[in-house]
A and B are shown apart, each in its own frame.
Chain A
Amino acid sequence: MLSLATFGAVWGASIAFVAVALGLSWRVLGILDFGLAAVYAVVAYVQYTIVRDLGIAVWLAAPLALIGGIGLQLVIYRVVYAHFLRARQSLATVVLLSLAVLYVCQNILVLCFGSAGQVILTTPPLRLQFGPLSMLAIDVATVVSLLVVLGLLYLLFVRTRLGLAMRGMAVNPELARTLGVSPERVRAMTFCLTGAIVAVPAIIGSLYDPITPTIGFNPILFAFAAFVIASVRSGLGIPQYALCGVALGLVTGLSLLFIPSQWQLAVPFAAMVVVTIVRRNAGPVQRAV
């Protein structure tokens, strides 16, 4: 049970990253960015290419992959979303766009790298012992990274003008515009920020596990469920998204005590349906794109 709880907590931390990025996209930009799954996969493959093909050390490859994630999001924003966000398209249109972005990136990866799993590090991962609890160092790194990222986000949103502008766009976009906030700049920076947030679990999670072009699909699905269950109504809701992500990971991990692992994916979505139906009109609040 302890090992399942540990697995769930670490998985939950990975979900939390993506849920926070998804939540930020929604609260600031008004879009459900399923394309984040593509960023997750691309970052993993950038790291793979840097480490395996170019022979560069992981500690140097990781920041380069992070920059890759940020750059990709910026390109996606400029090429795909900028026009639609300016034109204030419907939610359906923007969701379709994000799914299309996911498909395009995913299949470019299939064409470049094939669909078989690729491994970055073949050495066995370092294991740490905390009393009765045994954890992989990489899992500890995931949890610690989440805390660090949450701390940095707190500083960004509380101490910087950019953070203030993002909060303004999230709370009242029209008023923020009137008060001189540049929507273009805030949108571009939000895309960069979500790219960076999603890149972190992608970098850590792809070190030892095989990577495939669809590697980002499961995290985005779980994160989507966490995002809906969090039902943030005001502010940016970053702590709520993170907590819901971790909680959902824990519940999914512990659910393995009662149900086979193949049914794992059904757990968050069943929870999401129940929450949405029981708490009528739960989930993210509709907002103008």
Chain B
Amino acid sequence: MPQTSQLYDYAMFGYFAAYVLYAALIVFRKSRGLGLLATGILAATWLVHTGFLIERGMFYYKQYQGFLLPSTNMFEAVGYFAWLVTLLYLIAERVLKTRAFGVLALLFPAGGVAYAARAMSADPRELMPSLKSYWLVFHVTAMFISYAGLFLSFVFALMYLLQARGGRWVARLDQRFTPKYLDDISHRIVLLSFPVLTLGIFLGAVWADSAWGRYWGWDPKEIWALITWLIYLAYLHLRYQLGWSGYRISLLNTLGFAAVMVTFQGVNLLDSVFKLNSIHAYATGSSVFLITVLAVAILIPVIMLLLPAPPKPADSPDEETILPLSLGKPGHEQH
């Protein structure tokens, strides 16, 4: 099998073409044909990418005589994540009936796939026996689905923050993109992703127990998964019980996504930066792309925190926050 394949090259080109069309939609918002073309190319690209994953899976099947998810090195992990983000994006586009967030949401698939091809080794990894397990499929897929969902949630939170900071262009992308709408969609995606994240961590623990005889080993990747989980746990508690919404909760969402990125990619850099060992580090050394993604994810909440608080938007989501237990005393602060 070639290091990548023609299918990968086609997918890479397709992502780029789709991204250009989604970017063009910012200018030609009313062009229905352009929108359909963008979605069509993206869906076709996703199918081609699926073909590449199947091709890679078949190679592993021949190599190891068993099904293996193509996510065993950094190149494959970035590609698999991009594939999931695209899938979730296409679903979200259909459900929300808007393409206006494509230009932000597709930045990772388009950029990640291209960068992975250029700067990461596509060599199939020499797998240690513990990785040849069906748990790999369940654990990695659950974790990546949650990461992809949290990424989309972050995109909406980011749009909220940009709008709150005076970015009127966000509302011009789609007239439904009011602060309340963005806040609500971002929150709903967290609701969908958090249980999957919890499930993914549990599946990882079961796998670790069957492979190494320990369900939790305080490994850096495990710890960052816990940190991510704690941040989103705090997010849900603050939203439901203390009524946080809008700017503060969006800020927390970006912080949570920064933790997701460290869990997903940053742990691979801990070895080179802090000289730490992780059994989960499937690639070491520094990487400009990863550092950039990580820096952006971490810097957004920091910069937003340092800036003075923005004025409350007219259509503030605080007015209609759904509090499932809100029929008690307003503002009660117990669990």
Q: Do A and B bind each other?
A: no
B residues engaging A (CB < 8 A)? none
A residues engaging B (CB < 8 A)? none
